[in-house]
Amino acid sequence: MASAASDAELSRVHQKEAKGSEIDNPREPLINSVGFHESYSANAAILPFLFPALGALLYGYDIGATSSATISLESSALSGTTWYNLSSLEIGLVVSGSLYGALIGSILAFNIADFLGRRRELILSSVLYLVGALITALAPSYPVMVVGRFVYGIGIGLAMHAAPMYIAETAPSQIRGILISLEEFFVVIGMLFGYVAGSFVVGLVAGWRYIYAASSLVCLIMGIGMWWLPPSPRWLLLCAIQGERNMLDAKEFAFFCLCRLRGQAVDDSASKQINAILSELSYSDEEKQATLCEIFQGKCLKALVIGAGLVFFQQVTGQPSVLYYAATILQSAGFSAASDAIHVSILLGLLKLVMAGTAVVAVDRLGRRPLLIGGVSWIAISLFLLSSYYTLLNDSPFVAVIALLLYVGCYQLSFGPIGWLLISEVFPLRLRGRALSIAVLVNFASNALVTFAFSPLEALVGTGILFAGFGVIAVGALLFIFFVIPETKGLTLEEIEAKIL
């Protein structure tokens, strides 16, 4: 990629250095210009978002596809296998295999993310997605299928770690919130694609194989696209500060990459941003290698509380469990479409898509905190309504339907997109790769906790009490947001880091 830089661009960098430009003095104070507007081309901003976001789409596709695939896999007439008679534990492992793999991928990301860089981590995730999808689709036996699910899940863990980082580090600050929120939008689109693909082929013999194989083309597009995109300029400068790259070459390459990402000729805007990044790196003592202990100290600990705390509440307010009850609630209300689980899923998927799109439009206009506070307030109300339905209002199913739709819509307006957005913004650059892997691990681990603890807790205390408990947790989440979560709208990543100090 470096060789693609034009002589004029490199000459401009050398001229600035010869004049003693700001780039050559990385230890000057950070330009803390809140509201600093970066020059960029809208067309150039699309591809650096689109190819990483395909990793989120493939994650959502797996969720939607698996709900249809298990129906096909368990059918004696449609599975096309001799091992269709699976136990509930075996089906559970098929469904949750990618979740376990994502946990493994999150742990791996902690050790390899900074070495590989955001771009190469996404390339690796696309390869794992492809291999996992093909192993699953072609599996001659149940154990091989489970291996495929785990491999695909490792790709999920790496993609959901690296994609928000790459998008955050390459996006102009004015539209960073929109772009990272669009990543959640792509998760929902992927779920819809999975549901729709399942509805077309679930009636075919061995239809589950076609469902999983269908993602292969997207895996290839993602991998080729990430190979074509440049590395993150911030990661390049971090490597230079830490002595892993020659500083002059790294600045030239970062300067070229930034201009390419912005779709513009070399100008002072790019120079100022490179200078701001280097200033923050130098003032933060970034030349030292990050250690595990540092993640739990100082401003990184504060950022970890913000990021990991938010994604923890995102899951433990019952998101997997509410969706688990969706078909039952709609059936009780007499919806004819509810007799078909796939059609119910498509209905909810469309609602999620509309609300996620609303969040995309609003996040950089209204800000993160207003959407979180408003959305989580209504999530708490919807959970208490669900609790009242199961304890007091059994003859009023419309209450449960309203609560269900309110929960799904408000989740996509708040927790869904903004959880991923904030964990990509708040961590200091030197510790971002490792700290974000911890936040992603918390996300998938708490998802697994809620998913697997729900049935025992339901049997112990009852559905109504359990939803009331989720409601109480949602109130706690609201207090956490109000007192802990900062507003990051319109700030560069360096300004956010300074704000958290």
pLDDT tens, residue by residue, 439-462: 999 998 888 888 778 778 888 888
- What's the pLDDT at 495? 82
Answer whether 493's CB lies under 8 Å from 284's CB: no
Domain boundaries, the chain: 45-230+291-500
- What's the pLDDT at 4? 41
**Quick check: 12 pLDDT over 60?**
no
Helical residues (DSSP H) of 1-141, grouped into ranges: 7-18, 42-73, 88-138
Please give the average per-residue pLDDT across 264-289, as a whole number.
62
Please give the average per-residue pLDDT across 152-180, as a whole number.
88
Count of other CB atoms within 10 angstroms of residue 301 = 13
pLDDT tens, 283-334?
A: 555 445 556 677 787 778 888 999 999 999 998 887 777 766 665 666 666 6
Structure tokens belonging to residue 15: 């001229």
Q: Assign domain 45-230+291-500 to its CATH superfamily.
A: MFS general substrate transporter like domains (1.20.1250.20)
φ and ψ at residue 148, rounded to 5 degrees: -60, -40
What is the DSSP code string of 258-309?
A: HHHHHTS-S-HHHHHHHHHHHHHHHHTTTTSPP-HHHHTSHHHHHHHHHHHH
- What's the pLDDT at 281? 63
